[in-house]
Amino acid sequence: MFASGVSELDAAVWDALGDGSPFVSHAFLSALENTGCVGADSGWHPCPLLVKDGERIIGAMPLYAKSHSYGEYVFDWAWANAFEQHGIHYYPKLVCAIPFSPVTGPRLLSQDERVRQLMLDTLGERLMTAGWSSAHVLFPDEDSSRSLQSAGWLKREGVQFRWENEGYENFDQFLSTLTHDKRKKIRQERKKLCSAGVSVRRMVGTEITEADWAFFYQCYVNTYYEHRSSPYLNPTLDSPFLL
C-alpha cells in the first residue's frame, strides 16, 4: 500500500526498519513534510510504499511522485527528452530517494530480502496503473543495489569524488601523499584562512541558537543563488528535528 506521507506513520515503527541513518529517519523525512519542503507545490509528493504483515509494517520505501527533476542531484534530462521525442510523458515519475540529499543509504527498508523483492514486485505492478512513467532509486547502498539488480532493474552508474581518511596520523602525513604542487596550494589556502581570522566552532543540538540557524540558512541560500539556482529548503525553525 501507499501512504500519503511518512509523518502519518509511527516513528518507532518506521525507524526500526532502517539502519539508524538520520536521512531515512522518521524525524528527518517528516520534518520535510511538516515544513512544506516537500508536498504541496514543491513537486515532491510523498507516497511511501509500505509492506504489511497483518497490521504490522515489515518493509517500506521512501517514495515521491515527481513533476520535475530538481533536487535529486542526478541529471536525467536525456531521459526526459527521449520520452518527449517519442510522444510519451516523462512526468509524473516515481523517485525513491532522500529529497535534496545526495547521500548513499538504504532505500529498501527491510532486513528481509524476501520483503525487499516483494516491495519491488509491488512497485512494478502499480507503476503503470498509477500513471507514473518510470521509477528511479537514487543513491542506494550496496544491500539495496543488490536487491534491485536481482529484480532486474537497470543500473545507471555515476561518479562521485570523495575524501576518505586512510588512517593518517596528522594533516602533514596526508599532505605527504600528494604532489609538491598540490601540497603547496593547500598550504597557501590554509594560510589565507588563518590570516583572515576564519575559525571553526562545532555546536550540537540545543547549543545552536535561532540566530545561528538564520546565519546558516543565509549561507545555504547564497550558495544556490551563486550557482543561479533556487534553494529547496525553507527557513522554518520549529521542527523538533532541527532544535
Quick check: 186 pLDDT over 70?
A: yes
CA 217 from centroid of its chain's CA atoms: 18
What is the model's pTM? 0.84
Q: What is the pLDDT, as a whole number, of residue 228?
A: 86
In SS3 terms, the chain reads as CECCCCCCCCHHHHHHHCCCCHHHCHHHHHHHHHCCCCCCCCCEEECCEEEEECCEEEEEECEEEECCCCCCCCCCHHHHHHHHHCCCCCCCEEEECCCCCCCCECCCECCCHHHHHHHHHHHHHHHHHCCCCCEEECCECHHHHHHHHHCCCCCCCCCCCCCCCCCCCCHHHHHCCCCHHHHHHHHHHHHHHHHCCCCCCCCCHHHCCHHHHHHHHHHHHHHHHHCCCCCCCCCCCCCCCCC
Q: Is the pLDDT of residue 176 over 80?
A: yes
**Whether residue 106 has a cis bond before it, omega within 30° of 0:** no
pLDDT grade for 240, boundaries at 50, 70 and 90: very low
Taken in order of first residue, the domains within the chain and their CATH numbers are: 11-150 (3.40.630), 171-226 (no CATH)
Strand partners, 61: 49
Tell me what pLDDT residue 150 has.
Answer: 93
pLDDT at 6 over 90: yes
Share of the chain above pLDDT 90, in %: 76
Please give the pLDDT value at position 163. Answer: 87
47-97 residue pLDDT tens: 999 999 888 999 999 999 999 999 999 889 899 999 999 999 999 999 999
- pLDDT at residue 241 tops 60: no
pLDDT at residue 237, as a whole number = 44
Q: Is the pLDDT of residue 138 over 90?
A: yes
- What is the per-residue pLDDT across 203-233, written as a single tens digit (0 to 9) for each? 998 899 989 988 999 999 999 999 888 899 9
Confidence of residue 125 (pLDDT cuts 50, 70, 90): confident
